[in-house]
């Protein structure tokens, strides 16, 4: 998989291609009688439901939404079916992926429906499914017009999808590992202040309080014992509980370590 500016992905068994962002031909329109859309520049992006619900709509008639400042057309996500509503013209699934709930509409094709009106793929409530489709808005309410919704057979696909969506998001916002954008966003500011590249990278994304505690430790005279959190609280004019929370954050990132007790810290030698 390549998650650069033109990332590609697998077709996940949906019949889509594996190149040029995972283009899936034959996107269906948002109505049962409409013609199939032909989108020569479609890309297939793995997302979470929260990303779909938060995605800005550039203008009312736009065919696309923006995710991480990138034009997004077709999407895929994984979730659990919470409710199924059978209508005359469509089947509506409420799908929950843990980050949010979105409605997924599949327009009815009488040729593939059984006599009892059920899809032969047998998507059932509480089942985990993968959805392919396009984000839509109707009556100020968002839904996904699905090209494909299929049950998940291998539950490793759930974890795989969440990891893949995370990778795409991070590389869209921070750049691929090792490129200039990632280095600039993750480490350049810290390196300019005298920290090593490794320390700067490990401080990327930490809270302002954690940075304040780190700076106090870095600028204090270095001893084998380090500084107790109460001394740090006095120096940086912070509440002891806030210093403790910041210290736990820095410990978790591996930039400081405990010395004589759990509340006395020193900077890790990078």
Tell me phi and psi for residue 95, to 5 degrees.
-115, 130
- Model pLDDT, residue 12: 55
Kindly report the length of the chain: 270
Tell me: the pLDDT tens digits for 107-127?
Answer: 886 445 544 444 546 899 999
Which pair of tokens denotes residue 146?
A: 């699905």
pLDDT at 218 over 70: yes
Report CA-CA distances (Å) from 211 to 12, 157, 203, 223. 42, 37, 7, 20
Q: Assign 180 a pLDDT band (cuts: 50, 70, 90).
A: low
Cβ 132 vs Cβ 12: under 8 Å:
yes
Neighbours of 235 (CB within 10 A): 17
- Model pLDDT, residue 270: 45
The percentage of the chain sitting over the pLDDT mark of 70, rounded to a whole number, equals: 68
Q: Assign 181 a pLDDT band (cuts: 50, 70, 90).
A: low
- Model pLDDT, residue 83: 94
36 or 226: which carries more pLDDT confidence? 226
- Model pLDDT, residue 170: 85
251 or 16: which carries more pLDDT confidence? 251
Give the residue extent of every domain in the chain: 44-174, 180-267
Cβ 109 vs Cβ 89: under 8 Å:
no
Q: Where are the beta strands (DSSP E) in 87-232?
A: 90-96, 101-107, 128-138, 141-151, 227-228
Mean pLDDT of the chain: 76
Which range (20-34, 100-114, 203-217) has the least confidence?
20-34
Q: Does domain 180-267 have CATH number 1.10.10.10?
A: yes
Which range (40-54, 99-113, 123-137, 238-252) has the least confidence?
99-113
- Model pLDDT, residue 122: 82
Q: Assign 135 a pLDDT band (cuts: 50, 70, 90).
A: very high
User: Distance between CA atoms of 268 and 270, rounded to whole angstroms?
Assistant: 6
Nearest to 12 by CA among 176, 149, 146, 109: 149
Cβ 193 vs Cβ 184: under 8 Å:
no
- Model pLDDT, residue 217: 87
What is the average pLDDT across 167-172?
87
pLDDT at 44 over 80: yes
44-174 and 180-267 have identical folds: no
Report CA-CA distances (Å) from 153 to 14, 49, 98, 130. 13, 21, 19, 10
pTM of the model: 0.54
pLDDT at 131 over 90: yes
- Model pLDDT, residue 95: 96
Class of domain 44-174: mainly beta
**Three-state DSSP state, 2:** strand
33 or 88: which carries more pLDDT confidence? 88
């Amino acid at each position: 998989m390549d998650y650069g500016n033109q990332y590609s992905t697998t077709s996940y068994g949906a019949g889509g291609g594996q190149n040029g962002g995972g283009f899936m031909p034959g996107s269906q329109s948002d109505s049962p009688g409409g013609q199939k859309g032909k989108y020569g520049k479609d890309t297939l992006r793995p997302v979470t439901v929260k990303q779909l619900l938060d995605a800005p709509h550039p203008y009312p008639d736009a065919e696309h939404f923006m995710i991480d400042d990138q034009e997004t057309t077709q999407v895929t996500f994984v979730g659990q079916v919470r409710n199924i509503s059978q209508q005359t013209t469509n089947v509506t699934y409420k799908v929950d992926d843990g980050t949010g709930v979105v409605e997924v509409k599949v327009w009815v094709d009488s040729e593939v429906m059984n006599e009892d009106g059920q899809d032969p793929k047998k998507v059932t409530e509480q089942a985990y499914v993968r959805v392919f489709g396009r984000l839509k808005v109707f009556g100020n309410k968002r839904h996904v017009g699905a090209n494909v919704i299929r049950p998940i057979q291998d539950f490793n696909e759930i974890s795989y999808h969440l990891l893949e969506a995370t990778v795409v998001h991070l590389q869209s916002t921070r750049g691929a590992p090792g490129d200039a954008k990632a280095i600039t966003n993750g480490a350049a500011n810290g390196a300019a202040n005298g920290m090593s590249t490794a320390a700067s990278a490990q401080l990327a994304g930490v809270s302002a309080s954690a940075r304040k505690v780190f700076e106090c430790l870095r600028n204090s005279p270095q001893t084998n014992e380090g500084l107790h959190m109460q001394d740090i609280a006095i120096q940086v004019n912070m509440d002891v509980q806030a210093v403790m929370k910041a210290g736990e954050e820095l410990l978790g990132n591996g930039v400081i370590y405990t010395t004589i007790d759990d509340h006395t810290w020193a900077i890790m030698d990078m």
